[in-house]
Copies of this chain bind each other. A is one copy, B any other.
Amino acid sequence: MKHERLRHFQQLCRERGLPFTVQRRVILEAALGLGNHPTADQVHEAVAARHPDISRATVYRNLEQLARLGILAKACHPGRGLRYDRRTDVHHHLVCLRCDDVVDLDDERLNALPLPDTTALGFEIRTFGVELRGFCRRCREKEEEPR
């Protein structure tokens, strides 16, 4: 599975004329090998264990690149880069994958979502929200191909 994604990545690089560097490969391998949603610095640490000469900036640049190509996803945890929302009721977010803008959305059907039973996990659900990811109007208008 890891292998398959490496090949996929290599192919994408070729298609877009991006050099397939050693660093890129190592960084992707490390990211795939790490479990639950690592930060860029955690990936860097993992990379540095075997390749101490790969710099932090390179790791940041390449994770960004990998996310743009859709080989990795971005996740965001609360705790850092935090924002505050004056709405505390159930509502949803449209998140632009290109410009990172977020706008609120109300939708009856999403509000009425059937919540899963998480008691087996010991998790007590208090509230929820759906994150719809895609491209906003503005970004679609300046329709450049994702670099």
> Which residues of chain A have a CB within 8 Å of any CB of chain B?
31-32, 34, 36-40, 43, 63, 66-67, 70-88, 93-97, 100, 102-105, 107, 109-110, 113-116, 118, 121-137, 140
Chain B residues with CB below 8 A from A116, complex form: 105, 107, 109-110, 132
Are A77 and B94 within 8 A (Cβ)? no
Are A135 and B123 within 8 A (Cβ)? yes
Are B115 and A113 within 8 A (Cβ)? no
Are B88 and A84 within 8 A (Cβ)? no
Assuming the A-B contacts A81-B80, A116-B107, are A140 and B122 also in contact, with contact meaning beta carbons closer than 8 angstroms in the complex?
A: yes
Are A81 and B76 within 8 A (Cβ)? yes
Assuming the A-B contacts A130-B130, A134-B126, are A63 and B76 also in contact, with contact meaning beta carbons closer than 8 angstroms in the complex?
A: no
C-alpha gap A58/B130 in the complex (Å)? 32
Residue of B with least CB distance to A108: B116
